[in-house]
Structure 1
Amino acid sequence: MRVAILTHGKFPDRAKTALGILRYGDHEVVALLDRDRAGQRVNDVVSDVQDAPIVDSMADAPDCDALVVGIAPIGGGFDDSWRDDVRTAIEHGCDVVAGLHYFLSDDDEFARLAEECGVDLRDVRNPPDDLTVAEGTAGEVDAQVVLTVGSDCSSGKMTTCYELREAARERGLDAAVVPTGQTGIMISGWGIAIDRVISDFAAGATERLVRQAGNHDILFVEGQGALAHPAYSGVTTAILHGSQPDSLVFCHVAGNEQFGGYPSFDIPPLPEYVELYERMSSSLGGSTVDAGSINTKDLTEQEATVAVTEFGEAIDAPATDPVRHGCDEILDAIL
């Protein structure tokens, strides 16, 4: 499928969905919509992902099948400055795919226009309506279940899952990612956005995903939020308990000391954080933090090497930057 991705003013640092699709998706990206970078190319900004021209608006994009909203802002709201681009996409016969808490299909203008033009509005954060509470059965799957957990939101949990999947496949293992957020759903084409699920059913939704993933050697479950986060700890706990993982991979961004967007709240010391995750999982099989993943993109190579070493020592487990240095060492520890 040929897609354009909307990121106005947020690419690359605050366009996690766009980066995930560019790095791991099977879609052909024909353009990135970003007014602040129009005239550049994606690889002028980020070198290790699929390249595409950056344009000012949907009217300037090449023909494509869909427009993807590549931003997931805090609270998942819709910015009205995107309205012209969404409208143009629909009028050009493009489906529109979004991972917002604001459902495009509930927008009267977009719904009417989509019906007139015969296109689909896909709100990937909209969960199934038949979810139930967890039964505690995720641990019965034959696959080894590995959950990525983090010190904060946007700490590399999804990226680590896809990097580990590729590393495992290179070794001949049948590996899959279990998507629990909007970006993973857009990449893999299935999943449930757990942060949109009624809290009583969130662990059950995670359990369903693990059981539905099918027969694999190893499943990498995409974590969400962070256990000590002042706003998003609930979804983290639900995924931890619902997936009943065999192993945890702890993810962190080098240098982060406060929760993003909450500067008055310090991230706990990393050894204490690891212990917290392990205590929270102890009643459901006792999974341990067997490896660590650290994002060092803002560091020099020498600084990154030091950061990886210090991070591994802090969490008492093998560690890597999976994008920069690969996953072999931490995959060994998990296996």
Structure 2
Amino acid sequence: MRVAILAHEQFPDDAKTAVGVLRYSDHDAVAVLDRERAGQRVRDHLPDVQDAPIVAEMDDAPECDALLIGIAPIGGGFEESWRPDVAAALRRGCDVVAGLHYLLGEDEQFRALAEEHAGEIRDVRRPPEDLTVASGTAGDVDARVVLTVGTDCSSGKMTGAYELRAAARERGLDAAVVPTGQTGIMISGRGIAIDRVISDFAAGATERLVTAAADHDVLFVEGQGALAHPAYSGVTTAILHGAQPDSLVLCHVAGRQRVGGYERFELPDPGSYAQLYESMAAPVSGATVDAGFLNTAALDRDEADQRLDAYEQALDAPVTDPVRDGAAAVLDAVL
């Protein structure tokens, strides 16, 4: 599918959905929409993902099948400045794929345009209607279940899951990612956005995803939020208990000491955080933190190596930056 990706004024640092689609999706990206960087190209900012021109608005994008909303703002709201681009895409007969809590399919203007021009609005955060509470059966699957967890939001959980899948497939394993958030769903075309699910059913939704994929050798469950996050700890706990993982990988951003967007809260040190995850997992699955991922994108090689060594000592487990160095050592640890 040929797609344009909306990332206005956020690309690349604060447009993790856009970056995830560019790095891991099979979609052919024809353009990224960002008013501030129009005239540039993706490779000017991210040399290790598929390239595309950056344009100011949807009317400047080449012919495509869909517009993807590539931004995941706090609270999942819709920015009204995006409205002209969404409307332009629908008038062109394009589908619109969004992962917001604001459901575009319930917007009267967008719904009318979609009907008039034969486009489809896909709100990937809309959960199934037949979810139930967990039955505690995810631990019965034969597949090895590995959950990426974080010290904060946007700490590399989704990236780590897909890099682990790539490393496992290179070894001939039948591996799959279990998407639990909007970006993973856009990449894989399946999954449930657990943070949109009624809280009583969130663990059950995770359990459904894991048991549905049980025929693989290994499953890499995409974590959400963080266990000590002041806003998002609920979804983290639901996934941790619903997936009943065998192993955990703790993801962290080098140098981050406070919760992103909630700077009054300090992050626990990595060793304490690992113990917190293990304590929460113990009554349900007994999973342990067997490895870590560290995002060192903002550092030069020498400083990155120092931070990787320090994080490895803090966890007493293998650590890599999966984008820079791959996930092979972490895969060894979790298998």
TM-score (norm 1): 0.99
Q: Which residue matches 1:272?
A: 272
Question: Offset at 1:328?
Answer: 1.1
Question: Offset at 1:298?
Answer: 0.3
Give yes or no for contact 2:251–2:294 (8 Å, CA) kept in 1.
yes
Q: Which residue matches 2:155?
A: 155
CA separation in 2, counterparts of 1:128 and 1:30? 31
Give yes or no for contact 2:146–2:221 (8 Å, CA) kept in 1.
yes
1:238-317 → structure 2 map (5 Å cutoff): 238-317=238-317
* Structure 1 residue 191 corresponds to structure 2 residue 191: yes
CA separation in 2, counterparts of 1:304 and 1:83? 40
Give yes or no for contact 2:67–2:95 (8 Å, CA) kept in 1.
yes
Q: Once the two structures are superposed, what CA deviation does each residue of 1:132-168 show, in whole Å capped at 9, x if it has no partner?
A: 0000000111100000000000000000000000000
Q: Once the two structures are superposed, what CA deviation does each residue of 1:92-137 show, in whole Å capped at 9, x if it has no partner?
A: 0100000000000000000011111111000000000000000000
Which amino acid letter does the alignment assign opposite residue 291 of structure 1? A
Which aligned runs of 4 or more in structure 1 are off by greater than 2 angstroms? Answer: none
**Number of residue pairs matched by the alignment:** 335
Q: Once the two structures are superposed, what CA deviation does each residue of 1:28-65 show, in whole Å capped at 9, x if it has no partner?
A: 00000000000000000111000000001000000000
Q: Which residue matches 1:6?
A: 6
Which amino acid letter does the alignment assign opposite residue 20 of structure 2? G
Q: Once the two structures are superposed, what CA deviation does each residue of 1:261-309 show, in whole Å capped at 9, x if it has no partner?
A: 0110000111111100000000012100000000000000011111111
Q: Once the two structures are superposed, what CA deviation does each residue of 1:223-275 show, in whole Å capped at 9, x if it has no partner?
A: 00000000000000000000000000000000000000011000011111110
CA separation in 1, counterparts of 2:272 and 2:308? 18
Give yes or no for contact 2:290–2:318 (8 Å, CA) kept in 1.
yes
Partner of 1:122, secondary structure, is: strand
Partner of 1:48, secondary structure, is: coil
Q: Once the two structures are superposed, what CA deviation does each residue of 1:54-77 show, in whole Å capped at 9, x if it has no partner?
A: 001000000000000000100000
Give yes or no for contact 2:142–2:214 (8 Å, CA) kept in 1.
no
Which amino acid letter does the alignment assign opposite residue 119 of structure 2? V
Q: Which residue matches 1:59?
A: 59
1:1-335 → structure 2 map (5 Å cutoff): 1-335=1-335
TM-score (norm 2): 0.99
Partner of 1:239, secondary structure, is: helix
Query: For structure 1, which runs of at least 5 residues remain unmatched after alignment?
Result: none
Query: For structure 2, which runs of at least 5 residues remain unmatched after alignment?
Result: none
CA separation in 2, counterparts of 1:216 and 1:186? 21
CA separation in 2, counterparts of 1:125 and 1:315? 34
Which amino acid letter does the alignment assign opposite residue 73 of structure 1? P
Partner of 2:307, secondary structure, is: helix
CA separation in 2, counterparts of 1:231 and 1:182? 18
CA separation in 2, counterparts of 1:186 and 1:271? 33
CA separation in 2, counterparts of 1:116 and 1:326? 47
Percent of pairs with identical residues: 69
Partner of 1:210, secondary structure, is: helix
Question: Offset at 1:213?
Answer: 1.4
Partner of 1:52, secondary structure, is: coil
Q: Give the CA RMSD over aligned residues.
A: 0.5
CA separation in 1, counterparts of 2:225 and 2:333? 24
Question: Offset at 1:316?
Answer: 1.2
Q: Once the two structures are superposed, what CA deviation does each residue of 1:184-242 show, in whole Å capped at 9, x if it has no partner?
A: 00000100000000000000000000011141110000000000000000000000000
Question: Offset at 1:22?
Answer: 0.2
